[in-house]
Structure 1
């Protein structure tokens, strides 16, 4: 058995177990796959939404990932930053409960930025993300100590994971129709057809953004999603829609995160079903960026400083809000995560 030190962070209830491998490797690639279950399972492990690893950006680390995962044939090129550097300091890894590696995570990057600042006094760093794609990207994260905020520059929203093509100013919706039990909740054999339009955006993760007040039918289903008096039913409906769409591997081969959005007194409010976890989470950073981007391009909001309410998180903290700022083509996510606790977990070697 070996002892694995970890920290647990949360950002609006979206919570993570983080293992720091900056100074030395603690888990082999095969052990990371297995540890994801132990890190995320609340009954037989620590309990979290996802398992994060931070590693040094070195040829040795990249070689180990390449040889074991076969994501790339050659070391990926990250592209130059504003200073002309094509290097990164760290590698950001995120694993789902089943051990599969995800692309990226806005809230996870925010938590990592706070961790780097608190432990290593790192105010800003370039981070390699989107590891399990043909072309990983680099994002810059940091801490504004004066404002006591952490941030992650998620870059410009793109068309998909394997392209650098930035989404144009004109985005077109896709129309979707699915069938669910009539009330959307039970195992009744009687089905009802649900129709809606959504916008596909890649913000480090693939997202579908759906405005429930724009073409979502039947109306009773749309109103249920943000019905605070029926949280159990609305959550069940949201998860059924999310799972139904993720079963459509022909349309969404990588899976899809689904954001349900409404305008509430001029503020964007949203709920997100996450593809790897396969259920709704309290909040989603890349989802907040996707929602901001679509709302801007639909002219639903005019400001470049966007406030978003994470609906489920606000059930716990009525003041919870996510801030996104548009800077030219880039979208920057802001927040203040919380370190919950640190500890050690014992795992079998090999």
Structure 2
């Protein structure tokens, strides 16, 4: 199996061309092994890119535990870079199918920065300095005063395995408001650990911040995000109730090519 290793702000993925490689998508043990950092390549997720009858390509995403995953924002951005490099589309724009439906993307061929459209968000729950919403994957977002005071794994695991979320799991994001941007740390289900970045988590964090701290201003907004793996930005339109026209933007990098 030939593969490329990609990273997007520290979120890393093993990506393969499904038109060339014959991958048993039901073999979760093998997929988990690809992602294992001691006995495999090492990755937060495994991605298969294949042809689609009416779109540029289809993306199948698997969590590091080998099980089929929901939408992964950084994985989607890396998938676009992989698809461009492997000739699934030409030019700077594409459309593809993922777990949560249709996505559009724009790539800068000079630096492989990818801007990815995300699903609209029309339902969410708001509490005391916290919000719950689905941005392609389910997320719990909580505002904190100082990220350095948070044990992301311990605190994230406590919420993820709480009685409400234990059966299906939820991703947990801790958000600190800083002068020029939001700082976000994420505990990811499926990985069951902190990751250096999470695209759907960053998106949920930006929208939650808008609901909880910004005064809910109507219109178009751009929020810069600092994760432990790098910088991203989230653009969106808010009409007083729904979030639409959501775009996640940031760098991607082809780290290396390999053969299993």
TM-score (norm 1): 0.66
Matched, 1:286 2:200: yes
- Please report how far the alpha carbon of residue 198 of structure 1 lies from its aligned counterpart in structure 2 after TM superposition: 1.8
More strand by share: 2
1:28 aligns with 2:24: yes
The offset of 1:41, in angstroms, is: 0.8
**Partners in 1 of 2:222 and 2:127 — Cα distance?**
27
Question: What residue ranges of structure 2 are gaps of 5+ in the alignment?
Answer: 239-243
- Paired residues of 1:124 and 1:143 also in contact (CA < 8 A): yes
Provide the secondary structure at the position in 2 that maps to 1:110: helix
Change (3 A) 1:335 1:12: same
TM-superposed CA distance for 1:44, in Å, is 1.1
| SS across alignment from 2:86 | helix
> What are the equivalent positions in structure 2 for 1:31-180 lying under 5 Å apart?
31=27, 33-58=28-53, 87-120=54-87, 121-122=89-90, 123-130=92-99, 136-145=100-109, 149-157=113-121, 166-167=122-123, 172-174=125-127
User: How many residues in Structure 1 have an aligned counterpart in Structure 2?
Assistant: 250
Per-residue deviation at 1:275? 0.9
Q: 1:226 aligns with which of 148, 154, 171?
A: 148
- 2:255 is paired with a residue whose SS is strand
Structure 2: distance between partners of 1:252 and 1:330: 31
Does 1:265 pair with 2:179? yes
Gaps of 5+ in 1: 59-86, 131-135, 158-165, 176-196, 214-222, 228-233, 314-319, 346-350
Does the CA-based 8 Å contact 2:2-2:21 persist in structure 1? no
What's the secondary structure of 1:265's corresponding residue?
Answer: coil
What RMSD over aligned residues (CA atoms) do the two structures have, in Å?
2.2
1:327 deviates by 4.5
Q: Which has the higher helix share?
A: 1
1:11 aligns with 2:11: no
CA distance in 1, matches of 2:211, 2:166: 23
Kept in 2: contact 1:109–1:141 (CA 8 A) = no
Match of 2:132 among 175, 187, 200: 200
Contact 1:249 1:255 in 2 (8 A): no
- Pick closer, same or farther for the CA change 1:41–1:147 going to 2, 3 Å: closer
Q: Secondary structure at the match of 1:201?
A: strand
Structure label with greater radius of gyration:
1
